[in-house]
Amino acid sequence: MDSRVSGLFGGCCRPAGCGAGGALRGRGGTAPGGGGSGSKAKKKNGRSRGGKANNPPYLPPEAEDGNIEYKLKLVNPSQYRFEHLVTQMKWRLQEGRGEAVYQIGVEDNGLLVGLSEEEMRASLKTLRRMAEKVGADITVLREREVDYDSDVPRKITEVLVRKVPDNQQFLDLRVAVLGNVDSGKSTLLGVLTQGELDNGRGRARLNLFRHLHEIQSGRTSSISFEILGFNSKGEVVNYSDSRTAEEICESSSKMITFIDLAGHHKYLKTTIFGLTSYCPDFAMLVVSANTGIAGTTREHLGLAMALKVPFFIVISKVDLCSKATVERTVKQLERILKQPGCNKLPLLVNSDDDAVTAAQQFAQSPNITPIFTLSSVSGENLDLLKVFLNILPPLTNSKEQEELMQQLTEFQVDEIYTVPEVGTVVGGTLSSGICREGENLVVGPTDDGKFLRLKVCSIQRNRSACRVLRAGQAATLALGPFDRSLLRKGMVMVSPEMNPTICSMFEAEIVLLFHATTFRKGFQVTVHVGNVRQTAIVEKIHGKDKLRTGEKAVVRFRFIKHPEYLKIGAKLLFREGVTKGIGHVTDLQAITTKENGLEESLGPGQLSF
């Protein structure tokens, strides 16, 4: 945890040199941190110039794990070899949770050898046969010529292999959308998900708003979700052609769920709740080209960094201003990203090739920050963002996913609704385990620390029916006639065998990011831990009387209203006015099962099936 992030919240920004950070543009083993101009020099007429026998172009050596596979050639393999290759593809697809990338014409050590036109055609034919065998499709992402040590033109080809959708088992990535008010967040999502460009007056965003006052003011005040699908061939699947949400889910192999958050400062607590409780995989920071870094932009950037959410940047409204203004905004962003508190390497995306490289490098290295410049009105560079989202791999592999699914069921309650003829419905994310229709769970803690029994009547995921929910997936659960007044945001629904621990007092190791004076015992702050949001009092600061901006300490907090379900190691964020801090939970003063009245709450009088 780095106290230097405080510069993004309260202090002024110190320039750390400007200039484009295009070091990763192009292939051939360019390392992060190299000069941008050197990378461009290696590209000529779309060709990677490895050029000399004493300086062959390399990729990093092939990894045993992960979803990237190098293959020198796949020309007419024997039946035994073909079966082996199919098994290998299954493994790579499993590692990438339904996606794999094949580099054809590359040796296992990463040397870019390349293949002739005929060999490449035969290799792609074999790869297509392998994909058909495992129920997948292939898409050529890009081709490169390498003229290393050969007079004959030789190519390497990068191919995306993606499984055909099967029983709602699509890959689902959650992207939180951040940025200042009026930067064009909702309009961009409307254009991506509806398939129609905006008219310049916000028509595209109207379908995203949930309240009348949002339509009237044009400002998002609540959290809304929008979906964008990609099929097994990498084609966009959205609401165009009058598709329903169910049809999008059925025909998509990969789903991007956008979490549209509020940009205005008075809705900051809603934005923080969206970032902490919905567990986004990535964040998209939208910056208006004509206003640059203004309002809450710096604060949202600091929140993403504090919560360790990888982020990429979209500069919108480029149709409204001159090229010089766009370049000035890009330089302004690069300066902030390179400063000591961020230590990011900006990567400006200008072509499909850049978008493919950015997606792969972004997932592998936390320091890479892709920057897109686009317009929701003219559609300029919108396709580059779609290419990037199509290729963007998941952060967790299948092994981590399996381990989470082996644990007991734990579902975070983020939203509560009452639906006519359905009853009480809760929305949230399944943190661990598996949840099935008809399963009996307990929900709590209530204001007096009890857990109540309930039954999951039905499950909906991305607005379509679903029988089984797996760890990491977001969904809504119908609870039938369960009394809504007994529920609140911040509760958890867990398996009865879990014997959940709750607490009113806990300790956390914190860094005070910004505070105008001194932070002392008795100070009240709003604490965010996952889906928990409650006011807490500082009971004790270990080893110190007071804290100032940038200082670290272990602090004991006490919730003022009711106990909460927390876990040791959980990320914590607290705020009060301009005061902000981050940390993680180190110790819980747990209320035992007998104290919190679990047995009584599970008695016959409390059953709610």
Burial class (CB in 10 A: 0-12, 13-18, 19+), 318: buried
Residue 407 DSSP class: S
CA 254 to centroid of chain Cα atoms: 13
- pLDDT 10s digits, 360-418: 889 888 789 999 999 999 999 999 999 999 999 888 777 788 888 899 999 999 999 89
Same domain, 158 and 186: no
Q: Region of 179 please: left (phi>0), alpha (psi -120 to 50) or beta.
A: left
Same domain, 374 and 406: no
| Residue 507 binned pLDDT confidence (cut-offs 50, 70, 90) | very high
The H or E element spanning position 355 is helix 352-364
Question: How far, in Å, CA of 549 to CA of 580, rounded?
Answer: 9
Contact 130, 169 (CB under 8 A): no
Same domain, 211 and 295: yes
Same domain, 367 and 418: no
pTM over the 0.95 mark: no
Residues 6 or more apart in contact with residue 127 via CB below 8 angstroms: 71, 74, 102, 104, 138, 159, 161
- CATH (domain of 283): 3.40.50.300
Question: How far, in Å, CA of 55 to CA of 226, rounded?
Answer: 48
Q: Does the pLDDT of residue 23 top 70, yes or no?
A: no
Same domain, 239 and 337: yes
Question: How far, in Å, CA of 448 to CA of 50, rounded?
Answer: 69
DSSP, residue by residue, 363-402: HH-TTEEEEEE--TTT-TTHHHHHHHHHH---SS-HHHHH
State the CB neighbour count (10 A cutoff) for residue 4: 16
Average pLDDT value for the chain: 83
Question: How far, in Å, CA of 312 to CA of 286, rounded?
Answer: 9
- pLDDT 10s digits, 314-353: 999 999 999 999 999 999 999 999 988 889 999 999 999 9
Edge-to-edge strand order for the sheet containing 440-444? 452-455, 440-444, 492-494, 410-419, 423-432, 474-478, 458-461, 464-466
Query: Is residue 74 domain-resident?
Result: yes
SS3 463: coil
Query: Is residue 527 domain-resident?
Result: yes
Question: How far, in Å, CA of 487 to CA of 601, rounded?
Answer: 14
| Residue 43 binned pLDDT confidence (cut-offs 50, 70, 90) | very low
- pLDDT 10s digits, 242-277: 678 888 888 888 999 999 888 777 778 888 888 888
Query: Is residue 18 domain-resident?
Result: no
Query: Is residue 62 domain-resident?
Result: no
Same domain, 259 and 119: no
Residues 6 or more apart in contact with residue 604 via CB below 8 angstroms: none
- CATH (domain of 460): 2.40.30.10
CA 575 to centroid of chain Cα atoms: 23
Contact 537, 552 (CB under 8 A): no
Least Cα distance to 145 among 121, 113, 109 occurs for 113
